[in-house]
Structure 1
Amino acid sequence: MRHGTPPSLEDILDMAETALAAIPAALRAQVRDTAIVVEEAPDDETLAEMGIDNPWDLTGLYRGVPLTQKSVLDVPQAPDTILLYREPILLEWIETGEDLFRLVRNVLLHEIGHHFGLSDADIARLEGEGEAE
């Protein structure tokens, strides 16, 4: 059996950028100022902030102010950021056998949902509706 090199941070970022380019232009325009960053794994401070004990449980995170809470009067802050965590994504990929591009796309879209102010429950409901089609 031949083993290749695991996908790198850059490989995951390339997949995320490809997935982003495939979403409708009107939605893509709403996230054009949102940075996409790939890190190896969430740090301890992030895990504590999120109330997560197992670092493998967090595949992505949206940091920023959801569009539903933004105002033209707001003082500009750091850009909104979508973080994708390579190691937890790869672990989920191995455990589920899911196509890696599809998995990265799903994590990215989940975090974009938070950018639009959707809750985890809202996003889960939309994901369920998408799979029913």
Structure 2
Amino acid sequence: MNARQTPWGHAPKADAIEAMARAALARLPKAFRTHLDNVVLRVEEYADDATLDEMGIDDPFALSGLYSGRPLGMKSVDDTATMPDMIHLYRRAILDEWAEGEVTLETLVAHVLIHEVGHHFGLSDADMHALEAAAE
């Protein structure tokens, strides 16, 4: 093994995180999946400075996911020319949390994703936990 190699390999790239997230989406109950077709899933390295500032967060590692859009229950026919609803997963923050060794990366990605899906539906934290249990 040369000096640049590590015994544990490379950190998963954005496309691997996205594949894990899409697999978690596919495990959601159909009643939820049918309302997620128009939600854009983006995997980015970190939240941008404007997002962090808006949320009052100083450390980009403190934000692993974000839903941007209007929850379904708040949408109106008067909503015109709006940006698509998006779920952002922040790869470096997720990997940093994963490095703590509490859960598998797939479990963590699913947890973050389902939390953001919950915001899309306007769910409470208890409802999000139930949804996560249903997707296991």
TM-score w.r.t. the length of structure 1 is: 0.88
Gaps of 5+ in 1: none
- Alignment check: 8 A CA contact 2:45 2:90 kept: yes
Give the structure 2 partner of residue 126 of structure 1: 127
Give the structure 1 partner of residue 16 of structure 2: 11
Give the structure 1 partner of residue 82 of structure 2: 77
Identical residues among aligned pairs (%): 46
Mapping for residues 101-112 of structure 1, pairs under 5 Å: 101-112=106-117
Among 104, 107, 110, the residue aligned to 1:99: 104
- 1:74 Cα deviation (Å)? 1.9
- Alignment check: 8 A CA contact 2:114 2:128 kept: no
Which SS does the other structure have where 1:30 is aligned? coil
Number of residues paired by the alignment?
A: 127
TM-score w.r.t. the length of structure 2 is: 0.86
Which SS does the other structure have where 2:8 is aligned? coil
Gaps of 5+ in 2: 1-5
Aligned pair in 2 of structure 1 residues 71, 127: CA closer, same or farther (>3 Å)? closer
Question: Which runs of 4 or more aligned residues in structure 1 lie more than 6 Å from their structure 2 counterparts after TM superposition?
Answer: none
Give the structure 2 partner of residue 55 of structure 1: 60
Among 34, 41, 44, the residue aligned to 2:39: 34
- What's the C-alpha RMSD, in Å, of the aligned pairs? 1.7
- 1:72 Cα deviation (Å)? 2.5
Give the structure 2 partner of residue 20 of structure 1: 25
Larger Rg: 2
